[in-house]
Amino acid sequence: MEAFLQILFSGLTLGAMYALSAVGLTLLWGVVGMLNMSQGVMLAIGGYASYSAITYLGLPWPLGLPAAIIGGFITGLVFYHVMVRWMYRAPAFEVNIIIATVGAAIVLESLMIRVFTGYPLDQPFSLPGGFRIGGIQLPFQTLINLSVAGIMTLGLGWLLRSTRLGRAIRATAQRRDAAQLLGVPVARVYLQVMIMAGIIAAISGVMLTASVANLSPYAGTNPMLKAFFICAIAGLGNIPAAVGASLILAFIEGSIQYSVSARFGFPTMLGLAIVVLIWRPYGLFGQRTVERS
Amino acid sequence: MTEASLNVDAITAGYRGRPVLRDVSLSVPEGKVVGIVGPNGHGKTTLLRCISGMLPLSSGQIVFRDRILKGLAIEKIAELGVIHIPQGDLIFPDMSVRDNLLMGAYMPAAYANVEQHLNAVHDLFPVLLERRDQIASTLSGGERRMLGIGRGLMCGGRLLMIDEPSLGLAPIVIEQIYAVLNELKREGRTILLVEENAARMLDLVDDIYLLDHGELVWNGTPAEFEERQEVLETYLGADL
């Protein structure tokens, strides 16, 4: 029982983390056709924004989250204006942007090392303590992470499903030309999506560094890789599926780590991803990717 | 002659420097229906793409209600009220029928009257009301075309440009769609209609233009067209 709860809680903690990260990735891929190799540094930027606001500006710790949101907003804005807006019309955009975001990741990582050093820091945005259920310690921070992940994914789902902006985002993703002919300013839609992705990444960076990882320029690399596998398994561009796959994979990873060895968690995920993609090349819930004109 | 809604003045345009349209001029008067016919691949769709801003002009000018369209973004031209209903099924495949229609009313002016537009479209195409929650990609070819036209009507535009509304459809569906186009004409809409075949549109249009190898080769009323149909067909080497 205790073991089960242990796996359940660590699975939930990891799953919430993966879900946030995967949702950001899948949003960008699904809408902009952008495989964002900078996702990892975008997570770290959120973590450092929170850290700076609390440590250097002396703000109370809960304000780390709004600080990260501002950081994510600026990151999205910069990514759009420096890269995406000049590139998205080109036919090879989907390949070009991968290379561009790899480059951006290297630049930003070096910048962060320069400013904050590579030395791992503690994320001051955190709520110590917790309570015990069935002999297991459940930290308050885990509850915060779960709530934030839940609110963000549900909120994003609602926005995409039921709002005018959300419809315009989906329309742009599915048929850019047709959306434009209906008066949708697609450049602005891309900007809005970049900003949303920046904010989501920044928030998940704070949650990540507050619970399972130290704050460093590389803190987001591992979660980014896992988010890629999750998106591939779920089918890129599908938000509910990304959340579901995140939780399932986190539980599998948790069980393997608990019952076999911590070092087999990640390889198992990889193996699973390969098997799923051989069996269903577009992911478990994926459809053929929309062809772009 | 009534005031012109759209004036296309000697435009030349093409892809990769190879002109598809050469020196094309036409005018669509306010409240009239103008048809463009001609064999496939002779620039009809390209002409509409030029008007809606999807393809830049090499030379010439397009004026819509005293506004020069050259250099305007596609969405700005749509905001002026030029609504291009493209060829084929450019509906949003993974969205519901209702969401597709709501996207038609994306622009603020249309969104303010979205319910009114929605009711009007449902009156014209009752099937879109029946299937409102269905995902668009699961519709039949005819229903998709109706959705495409309905979505364009949701914009509340001032000029409707409809590209091959009957392409690839069964005769009975074509009849339904033309019944709607007739209804729109009765409402006094300004329409620029493109078809490969003139026979269907003779009862609908006020004015016909013939487009051949990227040039307008003939212009007249439907009655004049019927009189000279054989000569024109021989000249073009195609059934019209």
User: What is the rounded (10 degree) CA torsion for A205, A206, A212, A213?
Assistant: 70
**pLDDT reading at B173 higher than 50:** yes
**pLDDT reading at A271 higher than 90:** no
Burial (0-12, 13-18, 19+ Cβ within 10 Å), A284: middle
Residues 160-199 of B with CB under 8 A from A: none
Q: Is A177 close to B102, i.e. CB distance below 8 A?
A: no
- Amino acid making up residue A69: I
Q: Mean pLDDT over residues B152-180, rounded? A: 92
The DSSP code for A275 is H
Which residue among B73, B83, B103 places its CB closest to the CB of A167? B103
Q: How far is CA B186 from CA A174, A202, B31, B33, in A?
A: 34, 56, 9, 10
Among A239, A234, A233, which Cα is nearest to A196's? A239
CA B29 to chain centre: 15
Which residue among A170, A175, A185 places its CB closest to the CB of B75? A185
Q: How far apart are CA B55 and CA A180, in angstroms?
A: 13
Phi-psi region of B36 (alpha: psi -120 to 50; beta: other; left: phi over 0): beta
Q: Is B86 close to A180, i.e. CB distance below 8 A?
A: no
Q: Mean pLDDT over residues B57-73, rounded? A: 92
Task: Determine the residue of chain B that is closest to A289 in CA distance.
Answer: B94
Q: Mean pLDDT over residues A119-123, rounded? A: 90
Tokens representing residue A283 in the block: 């992911």
Q: Is B103 close to A290, i.e. CB distance below 8 A?
A: no
Cβ contacts from A onto B, under 8 A = 70
Task: Determine the residue of chain B that is closest to A165 in CA distance.
Answer: B106
Backbone angles phi, psi at A171, to 5 degrees: -60, -45
Q: Is A178 close to B91, i.e. CB distance below 8 A?
A: yes
Give the three-class secondary structure for B162: strand
Chain B residues whose CB is inside 8 A of the A184 CB are 75, 103, 106
User: What is the rounded (10 degree) CA torsion for A173, A175, A180, A185?
Assistant: 0
pLDDT score for A16: 86
**pLDDT reading at B63 higher than 90:** yes
pLDDT score for B27: 94
Q: Is A178 close to B73, i.e. CB distance below 8 A?
A: no
**pLDDT reading at A134 higher than 60:** yes
Q: Mean pLDDT over residues B86-114, rounded? A: 92
| Shortest alpha-carbon distance between residue B228 and chain A (Å) | 36
How confident is the model over A69-108, as pLDDT tens digits? 999 999 999 999 999 999 988 888 889 999 999 999 999 9
Q: Is A185 close to B73, i.e. CB distance below 8 A?
A: yes
By the 8 A CB rule, do B78 and B52 touch?
A: yes
| Shortest alpha-carbon distance between residue A167 and chain B (Å) | 7
Interface of A with B (CB under 8 A): 164, 167-168, 170-171, 174-175, 177-186, 287, 290
| Shortest alpha-carbon distance between residue A241 and chain B (Å) | 15
CB of B215 less than 8 A from some CB of A: no
Over pLDDT 90: what percentage of chain A?
44
CB of B210 less than 8 A from some CB of A: no
CB of B54 less than 8 A from some CB of A: yes
Over pLDDT 70: what percentage of chain B?
97
Total Cβ atoms within 10 A of residue B74:
22
CB of B93 less than 8 A from some CB of A: yes
Q: Is B73 close to A170, i.e. CB distance below 8 A?
A: no
| Shortest alpha-carbon distance between residue A50 and chain B (Å) | 37
Which residue among B90, B99, B106 places its CB closest to the CB of A183? B106
Mean pLDDT of chain A: 88
Residue located via tokens 């999205």: A76
Tokens representing residue B7 in the block: 């004036």
Chain B residues whose CB is inside 8 A of the A181 CB are 52, 54, 74, 78, 83-84, 86, 90
Residue among A162, A164, A181, A293 with most chain B CBs within 10 A, to mutate = A181
Q: Where is average pLDDT lowest: A87-101, A127-141, B101-115?
A: A127-141
Mean pLDDT of chain B: 90
Give the three-class secondary structure for B14: strand
The CA-to-CA distance between both ends of chain B, in Å, stands at 27
By the 8 A CB rule, do A24 and A208 touch?
A: no
Q: Is A181 close to B79, i.e. CB distance below 8 A?
A: no
Chain B residues whose CB is inside 8 A of the A177 CB are 54, 86, 90
Q: Where is average pLDDT lowest: A53-57, A280-284, B25-29, B200-204?
A: A280-284
Q: Where is average pLDDT lowest: A161-165, A262-266, B182-186?
A: A262-266
CA A96 to chain centre: 21
| Shortest alpha-carbon distance between residue A183 and chain B (Å) | 4
Total Cβ atoms within 10 A of residue B25:
14
| Shortest alpha-carbon distance between residue A34 and chain B (Å) | 19
**pLDDT reading at A218 higher than 80:** yes
Q: Mean pLDDT over residues A172-201, rounded? A: 94
Q: How far is CA B70 from CA B13, B16, B49, B95, in A?
A: 12, 19, 12, 32
Chain A residues whose CB is inside 8 A of the B84 CB are 181
Domains of chain A (ranges, CATH numbers): 11-126+138-279 (1.10.3470)
User: Which pLDDT band, with edges at 50, 70 and 90, does A291 fall under?
Assistant: very low
Residue A13 CA neighbour count, 13 Å, CB half: 21
**pLDDT reading at B119 higher than 90:** yes
**pLDDT reading at A292 higher than 60:** no
**pLDDT reading at B181 higher than 90:** yes
CB of B99 less than 8 A from some CB of A: yes
pLDDT score for A290: 46
Among A238, A209, A231, which Cα is nearest to A42's? A209
Enumerate residues 6+ apart whose C-beta is below 8 A from B86: A177, A178, A181, B48, B148, B163
**pLDDT reading at B107 higher than 60:** yes
How confident is the model over A43-67, as pLDDT tens digits? 999 999 999 999 999 999 999 999 9
Q: Which residues of A106-124 are buried (b: 16+ CB within 10 A; e: fewer)?
A: eebbeebeeebeeeebebb
Which residue among A181, A186, A290 places its CB closest to the CB of B86? A181
By the 8 A CB rule, do B142 and B197 touch?
A: no
Chain B residues whose CB is inside 8 A of the A182 CB are 78, 103-104, 106-107, 151, 155
pLDDT score for B134: 95
Residue A232 CA neighbour count, 13 Å, CB half: 19
